[in-house]
């Protein structure tokens, strides 16, 4: 059973990397589930502090993933219309365009929101939409980095007790 849990946990941390790029999977949270599964084996001792800290990081990144694109819009001069357009565009983009909608949706949404706010200034709307795209790239990079760290933590914990597994 421990070998099954070992492979299942590794599958989940690898799935966390995939989830860094796909919106249907919360990457760091999926990776954290892999760490939890590893600690559910009889061989690896349960480390509540380790699991609590990594869960806190995963939840923080999950929350920031929804905030950062809107923050990027605001930093590049977008109004509340652009920020709401970013959020709305992300949701609509995912629904209608799938994974491609993660990139296109916030950009188009921020642009549309800014054009609703001030239809005479398309350059400001483009700038806000670009900010949304930068926010998305930053958010994805952050999720990817944390997911890679979770894989490294998984391998480190396994390596510590590898002789007991085999």
**Tokens 């939840």 sit on residue:** 59
Centroid of chain to Cα 65:
5
In contact, 9 and 38? CB cutoff 8 Å:
yes
Q: Tell me, yes or no, if the pTM score tops 0.85.
A: no
Q: Sketch the domain layout of the chain as residue ranges.
A: 2-165
Query: From first to last of its 166 residues, what are the pLDDT tens digits of the chain?
Result: 889 999 999 999 999 999 987 767 889 999 999 999 999 999 999 999 999 999 999 999 999 988 887 788 778 888 888 878 877 887 898 889 887 887 788 889 889 988 998 777 788 888 888 887 788 789 889 999 999 999 999 999 999 988 887 7
pLDDT > 90 fraction of the chain, expressed in percent and rounded: 42
How far apart (Å, rounded) are the C-alpha atoms in residues 38 and 156? 11
- Give the span between the Cα atoms of 16 and 29, in whole angstroms: 7
Residue recorded with tokens 């800290």: 53
Output the 3-class SS for 48-97.
Answer: HHHHHHHHHHHHHHHHHHHHHHHHHHHHCCCCHHHHHHHHHHHHHHHHHH
């Amino acid at each position: 059973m421990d070998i099954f849990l070992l492979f299942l946990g590794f599958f989940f941390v690898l799935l966390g990397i995939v989830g860094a790029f796909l919106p249907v999977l919360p990457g760091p949270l999926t990776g954290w589930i892999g760490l939890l599964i590893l600690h559910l084996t009889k061989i690896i001792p349960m480390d509540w502090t380790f699991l609590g800290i990594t869960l806190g990081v995963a939840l923080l990144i999950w929350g920031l993933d929804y905030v950062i694109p809107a923050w990027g819009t605001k930093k590049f001069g977008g109004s509340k219309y652009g920020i709401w357009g970013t959020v709305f565009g992300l949701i609509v983009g995912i629904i209608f365009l799938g994974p491609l909608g993660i990139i296109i949706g916030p950009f188009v949404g921020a642009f549309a929101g800014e054009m609703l706010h001030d239809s005479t200034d398309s350059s400001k709307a483009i700038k806000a939409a670009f900010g949304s795209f930068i926010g998305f790239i930053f958010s994805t990079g952050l999720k990817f980095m944390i997911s890679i760290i979770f894989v490294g933590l998984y391998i480190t914990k396994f390596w510590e007790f590898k002789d007991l597994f085999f």
